[in-house]
Amino acid sequence: MIWGAIVGGFVGTLVLTTLLRAASELGLTRMDLPFLLGTAFTPDRVTAKAIGYALHFGFGLVFALVYYAVFLVIDASGFLLGALFGLIHGLFAGTALVNILLPVVNPRMGTSFTAAGSTPLLEPPGFLLLNYGRRTPLATLVAHIVYGAIVGGFVSLAS
Protein backbone atom coordinates (compact mmCIF):
# COMPACT_ATOMS: atom_id res chain seq x y z
CA MET A 1 0.00 0.00 0.00
CA ILE A 2 2.88 2.33 0.75
CA TRP A 3 4.05 1.72 -2.80
CA GLY A 4 0.73 3.10 -3.97
CA ALA A 5 1.54 6.34 -2.13
CA ILE A 6 5.06 6.50 -3.57
CA VAL A 7 3.94 5.85 -7.13
CA GLY A 8 0.95 8.16 -6.66
CA GLY A 9 3.24 10.86 -5.28
CA PHE A 10 5.56 10.60 -8.26
CA VAL A 11 2.83 10.53 -10.89
CA GLY A 12 0.83 13.20 -9.06
CA THR A 13 3.84 15.53 -8.90
CA LEU A 14 4.53 14.90 -12.57
CA VAL A 15 0.98 15.88 -13.48
CA LEU A 16 0.94 18.83 -11.06
CA THR A 17 4.18 20.19 -12.51
CA THR A 18 2.89 19.73 -16.06
CA LEU A 19 -0.37 21.51 -15.24
CA LEU A 20 1.42 24.45 -13.65
CA ARG A 21 3.81 24.74 -16.60
CA ALA A 22 0.86 24.63 -18.98
CA ALA A 23 -0.90 27.33 -16.94
CA SER A 24 2.24 29.41 -17.26
CA GLU A 25 2.38 28.89 -21.03
CA LEU A 26 -1.30 29.83 -21.26
CA GLY A 27 -0.62 33.10 -19.48
CA LEU A 28 -2.58 32.21 -16.34
CA THR A 29 0.29 32.56 -13.89
CA ARG A 30 3.96 33.43 -13.47
CA MET A 31 4.45 30.97 -10.64
CA ASP A 32 7.46 28.71 -11.11
CA LEU A 33 7.81 26.46 -8.07
CA PRO A 34 11.12 24.76 -9.02
CA PHE A 35 12.62 28.21 -9.60
CA LEU A 36 11.34 29.45 -6.23
CA LEU A 37 12.65 26.38 -4.41
CA GLY A 38 16.00 26.23 -6.17
CA THR A 39 16.87 29.88 -5.65
CA ALA A 40 16.86 29.18 -1.93
CA PHE A 41 20.17 27.42 -2.56
CA THR A 42 21.84 29.13 -5.49
CA PRO A 43 21.57 32.32 -7.52
CA ASP A 44 22.43 30.44 -10.72
CA ARG A 45 19.23 30.04 -12.71
CA VAL A 46 20.08 26.76 -14.38
CA THR A 47 21.32 25.09 -11.22
CA ALA A 48 18.38 26.55 -9.30
CA LYS A 49 15.91 24.95 -11.69
CA ALA A 50 17.67 21.58 -11.50
CA ILE A 51 17.74 21.66 -7.70
CA GLY A 52 14.19 23.00 -7.66
CA TYR A 53 12.81 20.17 -9.76
CA ALA A 54 14.57 17.55 -7.61
CA LEU A 55 13.23 19.16 -4.43
CA HIS A 56 9.78 19.50 -5.90
CA PHE A 57 9.60 15.81 -6.70
CA GLY A 58 11.02 15.01 -3.25
CA PHE A 59 8.32 17.11 -1.60
CA GLY A 60 5.72 15.48 -3.82
CA LEU A 61 6.71 12.10 -2.43
CA VAL A 62 6.82 13.38 1.16
CA PHE A 63 3.34 14.86 0.87
CA ALA A 64 2.05 11.62 -0.65
CA LEU A 65 3.39 9.76 2.40
CA VAL A 66 1.65 12.25 4.69
CA TYR A 67 -1.59 11.63 2.77
CA TYR A 68 -0.93 7.93 3.17
CA ALA A 69 -0.52 8.29 6.94
CA VAL A 70 -3.84 10.14 7.18
CA PHE A 71 -5.54 7.50 5.01
CA LEU A 72 -4.25 4.87 7.46
CA VAL A 73 -5.50 6.77 10.50
CA ILE A 74 -8.98 7.34 9.12
CA ASP A 75 -8.98 3.92 7.44
CA ALA A 76 -10.30 5.26 4.17
CA SER A 77 -8.81 6.30 0.84
CA GLY A 78 -9.84 6.92 -2.75
CA PHE A 79 -9.50 9.55 -5.40
CA LEU A 80 -12.33 11.72 -4.09
CA LEU A 81 -10.88 11.82 -0.59
CA GLY A 82 -7.47 12.44 -2.19
CA ALA A 83 -8.95 15.32 -4.16
CA LEU A 84 -10.28 16.82 -0.90
CA PHE A 85 -6.80 16.48 0.66
CA GLY A 86 -5.43 18.12 -2.49
CA LEU A 87 -7.78 21.06 -2.04
CA ILE A 88 -6.65 21.52 1.56
CA HIS A 89 -3.02 21.06 0.46
CA GLY A 90 -3.47 23.67 -2.29
CA LEU A 91 -5.01 26.17 0.12
CA PHE A 92 -2.18 25.51 2.58
CA ALA A 93 0.39 26.03 -0.17
CA GLY A 94 -1.18 29.32 -1.22
CA THR A 95 -1.75 30.77 2.22
CA ALA A 96 1.14 29.45 4.31
CA LEU A 97 3.63 27.20 2.56
CA VAL A 98 4.73 29.30 -0.40
CA ASN A 99 3.44 32.59 0.94
CA ILE A 100 4.91 32.49 4.47
CA LEU A 101 7.31 29.58 4.84
CA LEU A 102 9.17 29.74 1.53
CA PRO A 103 10.18 33.40 2.00
CA VAL A 104 11.54 32.45 5.42
CA VAL A 105 13.84 29.78 4.00
CA ASN A 106 14.66 31.45 0.68
CA PRO A 107 17.12 34.23 1.47
CA ARG A 108 16.56 35.79 -1.95
CA MET A 109 12.85 36.28 -1.51
CA GLY A 110 11.56 39.46 0.03
CA THR A 111 9.08 39.69 2.86
CA SER A 112 7.37 42.75 4.22
CA PHE A 113 10.22 42.97 6.76
CA THR A 114 13.01 42.96 4.20
CA ALA A 115 14.98 46.14 3.61
CA ALA A 116 17.07 46.64 0.52
CA GLY A 117 20.21 44.58 0.94
CA SER A 118 23.04 43.52 -1.25
CA THR A 119 21.26 40.45 -2.59
CA PRO A 120 18.72 40.71 -5.39
CA LEU A 121 15.27 39.88 -4.19
CA LEU A 122 12.67 37.64 -5.70
CA GLU A 123 9.18 38.96 -6.01
CA PRO A 124 7.24 37.57 -3.01
CA PRO A 125 4.16 35.52 -3.88
CA GLY A 126 1.60 37.34 -1.71
CA PHE A 127 -1.61 35.95 -0.25
CA LEU A 128 -2.88 33.03 -2.36
CA LEU A 129 0.13 33.70 -4.63
CA LEU A 130 -1.86 36.48 -6.24
CA ASN A 131 1.28 38.48 -7.03
CA TYR A 132 2.07 35.92 -9.71
CA GLY A 133 -1.18 36.54 -11.56
CA ARG A 134 -4.86 36.75 -10.68
CA ARG A 135 -5.53 33.22 -11.83
CA THR A 136 -2.65 31.70 -9.90
CA PRO A 137 -4.86 30.49 -6.99
CA LEU A 138 -7.15 28.76 -9.45
CA ALA A 139 -4.28 27.09 -11.30
CA THR A 140 -2.63 26.06 -8.02
CA LEU A 141 -5.81 24.65 -6.51
CA VAL A 142 -6.75 22.69 -9.62
CA ALA A 143 -3.22 21.27 -9.90
CA HIS A 144 -3.20 20.21 -6.22
CA ILE A 145 -6.69 18.70 -6.40
CA VAL A 146 -5.53 16.60 -9.35
CA TYR A 147 -2.38 15.66 -7.41
CA GLY A 148 -4.46 14.61 -4.41
CA ALA A 149 -6.87 12.60 -6.55
CA ILE A 150 -3.98 10.74 -8.17
CA VAL A 151 -2.34 9.95 -4.80
CA GLY A 152 -5.68 8.89 -3.31
CA GLY A 153 -6.48 6.80 -6.36
CA PHE A 154 -3.12 5.00 -6.38
CA VAL A 155 -3.28 4.31 -2.62
CA SER A 156 -6.77 2.94 -3.05
CA LEU A 157 -5.71 0.79 -5.99
CA ALA A 158 -2.73 -0.61 -4.08
CA SER A 159 -4.73 -1.52 -0.99
Partner 1 sequence: MTQLRHVEPGRIRGYAPIRDYAAIGDGRTVAMVCRDGSIDWLCLPALDSPSVFAAIVDAERGGRFLLEPAVPYEASRRYVPETNVLETTFTTATGAARLTDAMTLPGGGLAPFRELVRRVEGLSGSVRLRWRLEPRFGYGSARTRIERRDGVPVASSGSDALALHTWDAGESVSDDQAVTGDFETDEGRKSLLVLTAAHQEPLVLPTRDDSEDRLEATARFWREWARGREYSGRWSEAVIRSALALKLLVHAPSGAIAAAATTSLPEEIGGERNWDYRFSWPRDAAFALEALLALGCAPEARAYFSWILHASQLTHPRLQVLYRLNGRADADERSLPLSGYRESGPVRVGNGAAEQTQLDVYGELLEAASRFASAVGGLDRDQGRRLAEIADYVCECWQQPDSGIWEMRSEPADFIQSKMMCAIALDRASELAVRGLVPAKHLARWSREQKRIRAFVERRGYSERKRAYVQRAGSDVLDASLLLPILAGYDDPRKPHLIATVDAIRSELGRGMLVHRYLGEDGLPGDEGAFVACSFWLVEAYALQGRLEDAEALMEELVPLANDVGLFAEEIDPRTGEFLGNFPQALSHLALVTAAVAIEAART
Q: Is 27 in the site for partner 1 (CB under 8 A)?
A: yes
End-to-end CA gap in the chain: 5
Q: Alpha carbon of 84 to those of 50, 91, 97, 133, 152: distances in Å?
A: 30, 11, 18, 24, 9
Q: Which is nearer to partner 1, 10 or 30 (CB)?
A: 30
Alpha carbon distance 127, 75 (integer Å): 34
Q: Is 116 in the site for partner 1 (CB under 8 A)?
A: yes
Q: Alpha carbon of 137 to those of 23, 45, 132: distances in Å?
A: 11, 25, 9
Q: Is 22 in the site for partner 1 (CB under 8 A)?
A: no
Out of 15, 92, 131, 138, name the contact with partner 1 by CB under 8 A. 131
Out of 3, 18, 45, 127, name the contact with partner 1 by CB under 8 A. 45
Alpha carbon distance 51, 66 (integer Å): 22
Q: Is 113 in the site for partner 1 (CB under 8 A)?
A: no
Q: How far is the CB of 29 from partner 1 (least distance, A)?
A: 7
Which residues lie near partner 1 (CB under 8 A)? 24-32, 35-36, 39, 43-45, 48, 108, 110, 112, 116-126, 131-134
